[in-house]
Chain A
Amino acid sequence: MSADFPLLSLTIWLPIIGGLWVIFAGSRVHDGAVRNDALLISVATFLVSLLLWQGFDNGTADMQFVERLAWIPAFGIEYYVGADGIALPLILLTTFITPLVVLAGWVVIKDRLSLYMGSFLLLEGMMIGVFSALDAILFYVFWEAMLIPMFLIIGIWGGPRRVYATIKFFLYTFMGSVLMLVALLYIYFQGGSFAIPAMHDVTLTLTEQQWIFIAFLLAFGVKIPMWPVHTWLPDAHVEAPTGGSVVLAAIMLKLGGYGFLRFSLPIAPDASMSFDWLMIALSLIAVVYIGFVALVQQDMKKLIAYSSISHMGFVTLGFFIAFQVAAGSGSWDAAATGIEGGMIQMISHGFISGAMFLCVGVMYDRVHSREIADYGGVANTMPVFAAFMMLFAMANAGLPGTSGFVGEFLVILTAFKANVWYAVLAAMTLILGAAYTLWMYKRVIFGAIGNNAVAQLADVDAREKLILAVLAATVLLFGIWPAPLFDMMHASVEQLVSHIAQSKLP
């Protein structure tokens, strides 16, 4: 494949155009064809993204696969995309999860199937667009446009309170992002360019940086989500159809983390430093307090949703202890470890939370309840399923050997260098995570058969087995051998750290 083939654009636009095609052609063909087309498009996108990986040069922090075209020349807005070691793992995560989501909705979705499948494909393309956009306005367009398919997915195929959940989801996210738009425009007028790499070099006073940081914090903090703006997430997760929950947890939350790395830290490093106490405090609240909240949930999806917030607390902790670590140890190398830990945590959480939601979906499809109390003794009727879920529950609790352990371990390790108490509080998650996940697992899976519905459960079929097996293999693979991920991101994280270390004050 020649070097200037627009591979990245293909990854973005294949699912978008394919999704539109599925939506509009879908009403004329039968559902089987819609399913096959959607699967075909999503698998093709995954294969294209593997080509990206194959062609990716780990040795450089430069943007790769760069494409740059004038879009709105009057204002210097460009179609400018590219991927570095921070974006590529997340792009791969997106293309990996989407075929599984398509498969998860294979038989369950009967109403307006073509719109369902098309929405997920559109969503996939837009999320890849967000990860690869290097023009701030292009980024914003993808960032906002992404809300539309998700709004429809939760609103049309969701549970009883779907309308409340989806409007809450939309407005929360919209609130954060409109202020981000103001901040981006402001930076444009200081630096004279919408290109994100150019924005990294703009000098700003501390006050300017602080306002910009707050605007970004609202946008990304809502998305990731951080306490106290997390309340949309449990609602959205509970009401969304299984596929929606999976995409939301596995990919959409990562957009917030990605935003911190791409915008907040490099553009406003001095403000990040001055606000790092706030970010650390909010992260630790998420880890500890939300962990306790998860413990008391009666609804499985809600429990996993809170567990996601708690795990995302680790990500932000890993990112924002950088300054204290650097100050404490005198070297930015340790800070890089924290950021890499956060990144690994994001990727791994994508697999694990996706798998957990799929597991709940498997049970929900059969029993039509998410309440823990409606289950009990599922292992008796679904032994294969119980084994898979055991693995994912352990990974969610951070068991060594699974991918969940790697990120948490690195973040805790880094936290020790900043302040022992951070590490102690963060390590609480190992106890709390194990407690809420395994306790839920015990109540649902073990024990005597709870009721008639459970007694009549059929074990996972081949389709479900395939989805769970693929995820299980990935979780184990990256748990035992995370090196490919580190190699991919190392150079870019180094460069990011060098940006953070450098004051942007005039």
Chain B
Amino acid sequence: MNDFMTVLPEATLTALACLVLIVDVFRRSDAVNVTFWAAVFSVLLVLSQVAIYFPEQSGLAFHGTFVHDPMAAVLKSFMLVVMLLSFFYARDYFQRRGSTQTEFYILALFAGIGMMVLISAHSLLTVYLGLELLSLSLYAMVAMTRDSVEASEAAMKYFVLGALASGMLLYGMSMLYGVAGTLDLGALSGAVADESRHLLFTFGLVFVLIGIAFKLGVAPFHMWVPDVYQGAPTPVTLFLGSAPKLAAFAMAIRVLADGLGALAGEWQTMLVLLAILSMAIGNIVAIAQTNIKRMLAYSTISHMGFLLLGLIAANAIGYAASMFYVIVYAIMSMGAFGAVIMLSGPGQESDRLQDFAGLARRSPWIGFLMMILMFSLAGVPPFAGFWAKWFVLKEVIAAGNAWLAAVAVLFSLIGAFYYLRVIKLMYFDEPESPRAAVGAGEDAHLVFSVNGIAVLLLGFLPGSLMSVCLAAMLVNGG
């Protein structure tokens, strides 16, 4: 395959994103659906390209700056699926508000390009390029509702902190470049193997790790997460909380495992601290929340901490466990925010926990699926979230850290409480005031059902996705 064929999905998405942008400018002002369907078909086309050109082996392109391997293809596929579903959720949300804003889809497409580049990055420069394209699109998405004070505040916070994190990352990268004399991750991993320069490399590693931790939203670099999740319009939160996690995970694998694998001893210790801190802060602080978006933000922090545990094993199976975790998490998180979108009516944002009171009576099906999602997030079998936790725990114990597994499950126990509270509100409580059934449209119902049932099915048959992750990581590892 030549270089251009390797980047075909990325190139197609870039061209189509520009095309959708032009279509959007010239459409009739009330023909919102034109942009929506154009964006949907763009994603579908790119998804089919990724699927058709699924690689057997990893291959490099553009002088080793871009890598195409099974891990990239799997993550890109799931990222695109998540993006596709998020479009349907978003359309329902905007439609019921009578909003004609279509920037969401266009910015999401550009963020998608950034994520795909980031997932396939094989040079520090490509990492940075993809990351910035993703981040800048996300900043703009958060700020999309201009007249909302919360959204503007959230966007400002996100931008300032995000810029700071990018600065840290860049500083770390320049340190690595200064020592190794290369930006290529393959060459870097060779240079890092030189023990005499470990101290200098570790210095760079610390800053790079801060950048990655910020993107994943793990403590203590989690400050932006609750504010941004709460302040952003719900479809943006949904998008922000699901797809970019896949890309951030890829970034961690590319930089830490592929690039700085020889420093595993150093970053393992750092990740253990980050993981424990995240699980503690995320799970404990989430209990105090009354806003469900904020609660889910803290839940994200704790889940990302759990995900890091898989990386600590520092072998292909451990990475596969984390990969499985991040994919399952993206699906669950999308569903949970999807429920918030379904509940929100025109002119009101149903993001207080109290808004879920009596949901099982008002809309039994949505209540049922939300219950599945909550149990899954809590890690109760037979749902997908359990297998994600199981797989990671297994690798933690395989690496000889049974105590760490015990700590992790005890924090999950604390976490179970706030998920149970949502179920309690939905099933045991009566609604505050008599409300009509949820007014979301047919297609939002359908997408939400697909979302919830996916969590259920993955719970019964997790084996195939696990095998896919394992296969992808084994190719990557050797």
A-side residues, CB < 8 A to B, are 27, 71-75, 77, 137, 140-141, 144-145, 147-148, 151-152, 155-156, 162-163, 166-167, 170-171, 174-175, 178-179, 181-182, 185-186, 188-189, 211
Contacts and interface: CB of A to CB of B under 8 A. Distances in A.
Nearest to B320: A74
Given A72-B462, A162-B428, A167-B417, 15 more contacts: A27-B364, A144-B381, A145-B380, A156-B427, A171-B420, A174-B380, A175-B413, A178-B410, A178-B412, A178-B413, A181-B393, A182-B393, A182-B402, A185-B393, A211-B402
B454 to A, nearest CB: 17
Contacts of A182: 393, 397, 402, 405-406, 409
Interface of B: 364, 375, 380-382, 386, 390, 393-394, 397-398, 402, 405-406, 409-410, 412-413, 416-417, 420-421, 423-424, 427-428, 462-463, 466-467, 470
Shortest 9 CB-CB distances between A and B: which pairs?
A: A178-B409, A72-B463, A141-B381, A155-B428, A185-B397, A144-B381, A182-B405, A74-B467, A145-B382
A437 to B, nearest CB: 33
B414 to A, nearest CB: 9
Contacts of B420: 151, 167, 170-171
Contact of A167 (B381, B393, B406, B424): B424
A144 B397 CA distance: 21
A163 B428 contact: yes
Contact of B416 (A156, A163, A171, A189): A171
Contact of B382 (A27, A141, A166): A141
A129 B131 CA distance: 48
Contact of B409 (A141, A166, A181): A181
Contact of B394 (A71, A179, A185): A185
Contacts of B417: 167, 171
A163 B420 CA distance: 10
B229 to A, nearest CB: 25
A34 B405 CA distance: 44
Nearest to B380: A144
30 contacts: A27-B364, A74-B467, A75-B394, A75-B466, A77-B463, A137-B390, A140-B381, A141-B382, A144-B380, A144-B381, A145-B382, A147-B380, A148-B375, A151-B420, A152-B427, A155-B423, A166-B424, A167-B420, A167-B421, A170-B420, A171-B420, A174-B413, A175-B410, A175-B413, A178-B410, A178-B413, A182-B393, A182-B397, A186-B397, A188-B394
B363 to A, nearest CB: 12
B435 to A, nearest CB: 18
Contacts of B386: 141, 144
A181 to B, nearest CB: 7
Contacts of B424: 155, 163, 166-167
Contacts of B405: 182, 185
B413 A156 contact: no
Contacts of A73: 463, 467
B470 A155 contact: no
A112 B437 CA distance: 17
A186 B400 CA distance: 9
Contacts of B421: 167
A166 B424 CA distance: 9
B413 A171 contact: yes
A147 B394 CA distance: 23
A452 to B, nearest CB: 32
Contacts of B427: 152, 155-156
A446 B230 CA distance: 62
Nearest to B417: A171
Contacts of A75: 394, 466
Contacts of A155: 423-424, 427-428
B456 to A, nearest CB: 11
A71 B463 contact: yes
Contacts of A145: 380-382
A151 B375 CA distance: 11
Contacts of B406: 179, 182
A72 B380 contact: no
A189 B466 contact: no
A71 B412 CA distance: 26
A174 B415 CA distance: 11
B207 to A, nearest CB: 34
Contacts of A170: 416, 420
Contacts of B394: 75, 185, 188
Nearest to B391: A75
A144 B416 CA distance: 13
A20 to B, nearest CB: 11
Contacts of B413: 171, 174-175, 178
Nearest to A141: B381
Contacts of B470: 74
Contacts of A181: 390, 393, 409
A57 B413 CA distance: 42
B459 to A, nearest CB: 9
Contacts of A175: 410, 413
A24 B49 CA distance: 39
A152 B417 CA distance: 15
A91 B416 CA distance: 30
A151 B406 CA distance: 24
Contacts of B390: 137, 181
A213 to B, nearest CB: 14
Contacts of A188: 394
Which of A155, A178, A179, A185 neighbours the largest number of chain B CB atoms within 10 Å of its CB?
A178
A156 B417 CA distance: 17
Which of A27, A73, A170 neighbours the largest number of chain B CB atoms within 10 Å of its CB?
A170
Which of B386, B398, B413 neighbours the largest number of chain A CB atoms within 10 Å of its CB?
B413
A74 B466 contact: yes
A349 to B, nearest CB: 28
B427 to A, nearest CB: 6
Nearest to B429: A163
B244 to A, nearest CB: 28
A41 B157 CA distance: 58
Contacts of A72: 462-463, 466
Contacts of B466: 72, 74-75
Contacts of B397: 182, 185-186, 189
